[in-house]
Amino acid sequence: MAAILEFSLPTEEFALEKTLNTHPGAHIEIERVVADDPDRITPYVWVRTDDFDAFEAALRGDSTVEEVVMFSDTGEERSYQMTWTGAIDFIVPILTEYSGTITHADGSADGWNLRVVFPDREALSRAHETAQQADFRFDVRSIYGTEDARGAQHGLTEPQRETLVAALEAGYFTVPRETSLADLAEQLETSHQALSERLRRATHNLVESTLVTHIDGSDEQSSGRCAELPVDGL
């Protein structure tokens, strides 16, 4: 049975410490992570901030960021592909040696919150022991099995799960629809475009984790990809 670890850690133990401390109002959510190099990881992230130009300038001066490519801009959020190096020594083994999958990660100046699914309790225990031996500073928030999880085992972040549930309850998925995307966006106090993006990403992750990952076995998980970590609000 898969085991899930939720923990928090300071920015200096992970990535983007300088960027997040320079822009304390910025919020980052990792959509997914690719770990194909022992010295770096490639996260796909969504960012909310009131000054994207200044945020991007800070990224260029952040020692943990090797490369940044912007993919899309909804007005309220922007998505980026980044390459992180430096303060990721613990995350890479989680994704490679212990076959962990980050199903949620969000960061701000207050620190990072991560949720990682391991194939079993033994893998989680070995990862935890490795972190302690390396004096990695983090706070465990909870450990549980997949039977206790809600959206985690389906590759959903908590905001995505909440959005899908809200859409279901409002009748967005009924035929004919009982509510429009515009009305649902107003209910959730977000923009039409941002909600559309969130629903699209949530649907993609749900289909991928239930119809693709389960068919293909463990290859998807061991690749280190996470669902939309990914690095709330998306």
Looking at residue 214, its pLDDT comes to: 36
**Residue 206 near residue 154, CB atoms below 8 Å:** yes
SS3 label, residue 150:
coil
Average pLDDT score over the chain: 79
Q: Please report, as a single letter, which amino acid is at residue 124.
A: L
Distances (CA, A) of 214 to 55, 199, 205: 38, 21, 12
Rounded mean pLDDT of 26-50?
86
Nearest-angstrom CA–CA distance, 184 and 148: 29
pLDDT digits (tens, 9 = 90+) for 62-93: 988 999 999 989 888 999 999 998 766 677 77
Mean pLDDT of 208-230: 39
pLDDT over threshold 70, residue 146? no
Instruction: Look at residue 227 in the predicted model and tell me its pLDDT.
Output: 29
What gap in Å lies between CA 39 and CA 132, rounded to an integer? Answer: 20
Q: How far is CA 211 from CA 23, 71, 161, 191, in A?
A: 39, 26, 17, 30
